[in-house]
Amino acid sequence: MRHESATNQLKALQSGNVGSAELVERAIERIRQVDGALNAVVVRDFDRAREAGRAADQARRRGDDRPLLGLPMTVKEAFDVAGLPTTWGLLGNHSAATTDAVVVERLRSAGAIVLGKTNVATMLADWQTANPAYGVTNNPWDMRRTPGGSSGGSAAAVASGITALELGSDLAGSLRIPAAFCGVFAHRPSQGTVPMRGFAPPMAPRMRYMQAVDQAAVGPLARSAADLRLALDVLAGPDVPASTGLKLSLLPPRHTELRAYRVLVLDEHPLIPTAGAIREALQGLAERLANAGCRVGRETREAPDLKDLNETFTSLLMAFMGVDVPDEEYAAAAEAARHGDWTQQRMTMSHRDWMHLDRHRLALAEQWSRTFARWDAVLCPAAPCTAFAHDAGPFGERTLSVDGEELGYAKLPCWTTLAVPTGLPVTTVPIGVDAAGLPIGAQLIGPFMEDHTPIALAGLLEQQLGCSFCPPPLDP
C-alpha cells in the first residue's frame, strides 16, 4: 500500500482488506524509514493518529462510509491543527492552535486522520523548503535537490510513500512547483472555492470572519487525479458568513472522453526560456493528444498576453505585501517610490491605482473567458526547469540555470503566474522525466469555476497516455 493512491487505499479499507489502524502504523513506519533523510514531516502527532485509526475501524464496522474514513494524511505546517503549533518556519515559542483550520476540520469530518504537519519555506516565501525552525527538506528523487516550495514537505511526503494525500497552498506556484519537482499531482482550486480561515502566520489574529488572501488558494496534492477530485469534493464550499446562505456547485467536466478535449499548448514564455527537455515532453504529449483525436492548438495569441499576466500578478502581489510591512519600512518604500523606484511604487500604490489594476485584472479575466470558449484547457509547463540543487544564498543573489543559461531566481514562477491574477483552476500532472531522471510536471489550466475539467483531463492523461505517478528510487 506504500505507493497506492488515496482512492485505492480507501477501496482497501472499504473491502476490509486492511484496517485504518494498520495504515496508520505503516505510515508511521515509513516516516521512520525515510524521513531522517527527507525531513518532510516536521510536526508529528502519532498518538492521536493511532487513536483515530482505531476509532475509524470501529466506525466502519458500524456502517460509517464517510468519503475519507480512516485515510492517514499529512497537512502543510502553515495550517492550524488543534493541539499543534503553527510556526510558518519562524523561530520562537508558538502556542498550540486551539482549533483546526476550516479545511483541516472538513478533512477530519470526512474521516481523514492527520499524522502530522509537513515542512515549509520560511513564511511560505520561497520555491525551496527550508526555515530556521525545522531545517531543509530534500527531494526524494535526489537528496541534493530541493522538492520545491513552499509546499515542498507536502510534495516530498506524497512522493516518498509516506502519505497518499496532502493539503498545501499556492500563491506563486507553492503547490504546482513542488508537485512538478517531485512527480506528483496537485490542484490549485478556483479562487475562493476553498476557504482559508485557519491558514495564517502565527502572529496573525484568529478571527471567525477572515479576509481572503488575494491571489492565494489552498488545495490537495496526491498520487492520482481521482484523489484530487475526492479531496476537492470534501474541501470546496463557502465559509461563514457566506455559508449561511450560499452553496457551491461546481460544474461537471466538459467532456468524459479524451478525444473530445480541445487543448491549447503553450511552451514558450517571453520572459524566460524553458528547458529543452520540458518542451520536448510537452510537444510529445501534444502529439499523443492529437493522435488520440483531440483538437490541439499551439498559438500563443489564443491566450492573454503572458507578459501582461506576469506583470499584473507581480503588481498585485507587491501591493498585498505592502499592507503588513512595518510602518518604518513602508515609509521608506513610499519615499523611494516618490523618487521613481518602480518596485516600491507597486508596494505603496494608492487605492485608486489598485482599483485601476483590479479593473485590468477583470479585463484579463474576460480575455481568458474568450480563450475557454475555444479551448477546454491550456497545457503548459509548471516550471522552466526541473528540481535544482539547494541554494541557501541571499534571495536576490540566487540564479536559476536553464540549459546552461543563468537567469534571475525570481523568474522561476513565470509559468505559474498565468492563472493566478484571475483565479483560474490548475491541475498539475507528471508527464515524464529529464535526462537526469528528474520529474517533469505540466499545468492544465481550466476555466474559472470549472475545476473538474482540468482534473478530469489529468485523469484521462493518467489512464490513457501514461502521465502517472512513479515512485522515486528512494532507498531507506
Q: Are 454 and 418 in contact (CB under 8 A)?
A: no
C-alpha closest to that of 187 among 466, 371, 421, 457: 457
pLDDT in the model for residue 361: 98
E strand or H helix that includes residue 110:
none
203 contact partners, CB below 8 Å, separation of at least 6: none
Percent of the chain with pLDDT over 90: 92
Q: Terminus-to-terminus CA distance in the chain, angstroms?
A: 16
Phi, psi at 117, each rounded to 5°: -125, 145
pLDDT in the model for residue 444: 99
The pLDDT tens digits of the residues spanning 4-41 come to: 999 999 999 999 999 999 999 999 999 999 999 999 99
pLDDT in the model for residue 262: 98
C-alpha closest to that of 413 among 218, 83, 148, 236: 148
The pLDDT tens digits of the residues spanning 244-285 come to: 999 999 999 999 999 999 999 999 999 999 999 999 999 999
SS (H, E, C) the chain: CCCCCHHHHHHHHHHCCCCHHHHHHHHHHHHHHHHHHHCCEEEECHHHHHHHHHHHHHHHHCCCCCCCCCCEEEEECCECCCCCECCCCCCCCCCECCCCCHHHHHHHHCCCEEEEEECCCHHHCCCCCEECCCEECCECCECCECCCCCCHHHHHHHHCCCCCEEEEEECCCCCHHHHHHHCCEEEECCCCCCCCCCECCCCCCCCCCCCCCCCCEEEEEECCHHHHHHHHHHHCCCCCCHHHCCCCCCCCCCCCCHHHCEEEECCCECCECCCHHHHHHHHHHHHHHHHCCCEEECCHHHCCCHHHHHHHHHHHHHHHHHHCCCHHHHHHHHHHHHCCCHHHHHHCCCHHHHHHHHHHHHHHHHHHHHHHHHCCEEEEECCCCCCCECCCCCHHHCEEEECCEEEEHHHHHHCHHHCCCCCCCEEEEEEEECCCCCEEEEEEECCCCCCHHHHHHHHHHHHHHCCCCCCCCCCC
Cα–Cα distances (Å) from 86 to 35, 42, 79, in that order, read: 20, 11, 7
Other CB atoms within a 10 A radius of the CB of residue 324 amount to: 10
Other CB atoms within a 10 A radius of the CB of residue 474 amount to: 18
Q: Are 172 and 317 in contact (CB under 8 A)?
A: yes
Cα–Cα distances (Å) from 193 to 6, 48, 312, in that order, read: 22, 30, 22
C-alpha closest to that of 252 among 233, 276, 267: 233
Model confidence at 475, in pLDDT bands (50, 70, 90)? low
Question: Residue 183 and residue 109: Cα distance in Å, rounded?
Answer: 29
Model confidence at 329, in pLDDT bands (50, 70, 90)? confident
Domains of the chain: 6-203+213-302+376-465 (3.90.1300.10), 306-366 (no CATH)
Largest Cα–Cα separation, the chain: 70
pLDDT in the model for residue 476: 53
Question: Residue 149 and residue 177: Cα distance in Å, rounded?
Answer: 7
440 forms bridges with which residues in the sheet? 432
Q: What is the rounded average pLDDT of the residues 209-235?
A: 95
C-alpha closest to that of 222 among 170, 154, 147: 154
Model confidence at 351, in pLDDT bands (50, 70, 90)? very high
pLDDT in the model for residue 212: 82
Cα–Cα distances (Å) from 255 to 261, 453, 457, in that order, read: 7, 7, 8
Catalytic residues: 76, 150, 174
Q: What is the rounded average pLDDT of the residues 321-326?
A: 86
Give the pTM.
Answer: 0.97
